[in-house]
Structures are given as structure tokens and as C-alpha cells.
Amino acid sequence: MSSQHQYDVLILGSGAAGQSIALFLASRLRVALVTKRGLADSASSLAQGGIAAVLDTADSVEAHIRDTLTAGAGLCDPLVTRFVVEHSRGAIAWLIGRGVPFTREDDSELGFHLTREGGHSHRRIIHAADATGAAVQTTLSEAVLSHPNIDIHERHIAIDLIPGERIGQPERGCIGAYALDIENDRVVTFSARSTVLATGGAGKVYLFTTNPDIATGDGVAMAWRAGCRVRNMEFIQFHPTCLYHPRAKSFLISEAVRGEGGLLKLPDGTRFMPAHDARAELAPRDIVARAIDFEMKKHGLDCVYLDISHKAADWLRGHFPNIHAHCLELGIDITREPIPVVPAAHYSCGGIVTDLAARTDVPNLYAIGEAAGTGLHGANRLASNSLLECLVFGEAAARDILSHPGPPPPMPPPWDESRVGDADEEIVLAHNWAELRQAMWDYVGIVRTNRRLRRARNRIRLLAREIDEFYSHFRVSNDLIELRNLVVTAGLIVDCALRRRESRGLHYSRDYPATLPKARDTVLRPPRFKSGD
């Protein structure tokens, strides 16, 4: 059974990127916001630290640009970096105008407290205690829910984009998407003048991640199948400090803990970061993650420790209430003892190739947020630039869509499942899922070698064939759709990693430990890619 919907704009994903562009568009266009789970389920809602922006007169646009370029290890696009940083103050003003409850500091120049994180030369991180993402998400959700021009489709997972060829108009590019209505177990057809991929990252391709379960690389995989280039997929940021505890799942300890004086230590209390980098705990994430990985392997440790217990207890409870409360539930009092931490897959710095208007290679298809490879993050994302990127490119994409909305496309044909049956062995999906994530963790982690990467590629290719066979013969399900996307995304990460014959930023290769004199993007072109699109 299939149903059909027609909108001006179809947005896939309900994080900060998806909700912000929905609000930018809804005053003039009818918008569908499609989300895999609930409206609040996204990586954005888990963001703790804050949003980087030039807000203080002691800071400057040039300093923020310089810090971003430094963290990005020579691979950031200078034009994109300047574009985002120059629009940072306006993005924060928009959020403040919306009512986001950022933490205040009455005696500061701005009236809000600014913190500092690794890689930043100034205090420029505006935040809402240690739950900034949740504060932003809650505020945007309230506006989205009350807007008459925004229809929310929860528990709908996109299966694939619909090309213009389906209606005999290939020049139209993307005309919408097919999605599985999970609650009613039926495929829905969404037709739209413009489609926006705001589907987030791909952390679940790894065994250990700070990402929510929904981060399965859906946007990248769908865009690749539709004919979009991807770039720099090898640069996976491992957050240095994910809470290590058997009952803790995907809980990260904010960058701001180190920014406010937290120290990384071995079990005997010895600091180790000064031996790895002059910036010590304030070094960028790739350096800190590699240092922790090195120390864990050197000493045979399951974790290291992040200690901020030297700060006043009341101050800690005020600045990090959620971290304090969550750790206390697990028997860890951060006011008295250090926090056990390990690195975990956290953020995809590459993604779908886009321009300054968030346009992809396929007409009428846009990508924003973590799914997009804008060029801002280069080889390593500077802390707290991600939410900023969501907001700036959400507005940029909205401006472009509003400037030429185009005529509505005819309704494409409904989803055809007449030649498939019900799956008889769902256990195959569970086994493939586990095997893929384990292989990525073992062979495509913080430190890489060509041999490990080739092993991963061989396993991914075998899994891809099995999953494609399953997809061809059985009706779609949530698990099958996600696994199909994960295996595509994993393959792109490995292919990019094998092409980079150097160590740069987040990609560290024992076979190529040196950094080449000239930084170059790794760009992959899919079989459907048409030069000149």
C-alpha cells in the first residue's frame, strides 16, 4: 500500500540543520519535515559544548578563520570558512531572537558566558550550560510544531531519492523521495520542487560512537546513488572523551571540560598530553584522540581519565549540570574523582559535495549539516563549528530555494514492491550489521594502515553484495534501509582513505606518516555522475 504527498520543499532530517531551514522557508513555502524517529531525535540535540561565533570585541573574524584553518590541517576551503565565520554573529542573533536560553553572565560585554575549547585562541563558544544542542533543538521544535506551513512526518525513513527520469524529465534532477512509514509499514511517495538532505552523520558505521542510533549515513548514501560526488570521507573525527562505563551508551564528555581546565591523566594520576603537544589538553581533537589511543595501547589500558575535580564543586555543578548528574547516576562524582574516558567515532568531516548555496551536483537537491561536505572542516573539524555550519548553510540554502522555487513536478509513480516478498531470515541483517561495524572499528580507526584498509574493503564488498541481494528480494524495513546505507557509506570512507597517501588531520597512516606539501581533497565520483551538472 502506498500514499502520496506533494510539497514545495521536502526536508529529510530534523536536527538543527533541518529545523532551521524549515523555519527559514515556511513563511513562503509549504514544507515537509521528515524524520526517522521523533522530532527531537538527532545528533544536534546531544551537542553539549556550544556554538563558535565571533561575539566579543577581543576576538575577531580573522582569528576564528585562522583557528579553523589550523585545525583543518590545510584542507579547509578558505572561501567557505570565511563565509561561515562572517555569518556567525547573525546566526547567534537569530537563535537569541528565537529564545534559545544561552547561559548568561551579567558582567560580560555580551551578557552571555563564553567558554573556550580545544583549538580556539579566544573564548568564543556561546552555550546553554552543558546542553546547548538540547536547548537549540527544543526552541526550534516549538516553533516548527506551531508553524502552519510545516508538516512533520515522524517515524518515516527515506529509502531513496526520486530522479526526474521517473517522470520523463531528467533535467528536473531530484523530484522528491520514497520513504517507509514505519508505524503503518507502507511506502510513501513525497514529491517536491526542492529536496534537502539534513540527515546527519554516519557514526553508527563504527562499533563505538557518541552518535545516536539514527546516524547511519542515509543522506550520503542516497546522494551517491543519485549521482552526487562526495569528498574527504576518510576524515572521521573521534571525540577524545567518551564516557567509559558499562552502563553508559554514547555519552560524551564535552570539549568544554578540557577548555575549563580538565586534565587528562593515566590511572596513576600522571598527565600525558604535554608530551604529545605544546597545547596539551587544548590541542585539537585529532591530536588528543591519537594521544589517548597511543597511551592506551602503550600501557594496555581500557581507558584514561579526565580530571576536573580541582575546580570548586558548586562551580562544576553550575557549568556542567548534565555531565555531573549523569556521571553521578553511574557512581562517578566528578567533583571528587576523575572521569574514565575513551575516544569514540563522533563526526564526519567530509560528505556530499556542495557549494555556498548548499547545492549538490543534482539539480533541486541540497545538502546541509553533517551530511554535507562543504569544505569548512577540512581534515579536522574545529570544536563547536558544526552547529554554526548547520545554521549558516540552512539559511543559505533557503535563500537559494526561495529565489527560484520552480514549478511543482508531476507526481512520480508509486513505489513498486510487486516482485518482492517478506523477509524470511532477519538474523542475516543483524549479523551483517555487527560484522560491518566491527570491521570498521578494527581496520578503519584512529590509526590506519593500507593492509587494514584493504581488509576492510574486501569485507565491505562482500557485505554489500549480500545486502543488495537481500534488498532485491524482500520488502524494505527500517533495519534493511539503514544497513544498505551504512555499507555504502563505509565503502566510501575506505575508498577515500586508500586514496590519501599521507597523514593529515584525522587520517593517520603508518604507511604514509608524512604530510604532503600540498593539500588536496579526495573526491569520489559515482557511476551516475554527469560532468557539468
Classify residue 66 as exposed, middle or buried by CB count within 10 Å of its CB (0-12, 13-18, 19+): middle
Distances (CA, A) of 212 to 31, 250, 252, 347, 482: 25, 7, 11, 12, 13
Catalytic position from the list 193, 285, 484, 504 = 285
Question: Any idea what DSSP says for residue 475?
Answer: -
> Looking up cell 560585554, which residue turns up?
109
Would you say 323 and 329 are in contact if contact means Cβ atoms under 8 Å apart?
Answer: no
Short-list 44, 46, 51, 35, CA closest to 15: 44
Short-list 103, 112, 110, CA closest to 131: 103
Would you say 351 and 331 are in contact if contact means Cβ atoms under 8 Å apart?
Answer: no
Largest CA distance in the chain: 68
Sequence-distant (6+) residues with CB within 8 A of 377 are 72, 76, 235, 349, 350, 385, 386, 389
Is 359 known to be catalytic? Answer: no
Would you call 367 helix, strand, or coil by DSSP? Answer: strand
Q: How far apart are CA 487 and CA 482, in angstroms?
A: 9
- State the cell numbers at 436: 560491518
Would you say 115 and 260 are in contact if contact means Cβ atoms under 8 Å apart?
Answer: yes
Q: How far apart are CA 14 and CA 47, in angstroms?
A: 14
Would you call 303 helix, strand, or coil by DSSP? Answer: coil
Residue-wise DSSP of 175-206: EEEEEEETTTTEEEEEEEEEEEE-----GGGS
Short-list 158, 72, 7, CA closest to 521: 72
Short-list 492, 382, 381, 484, CA closest to 444: 492
Q: Tell which phi-psi region holds residue 442, choosing left (phi > 0), alpha (psi between -120 and 50) or beta.
A: alpha
> Which positions are catalytic?
285
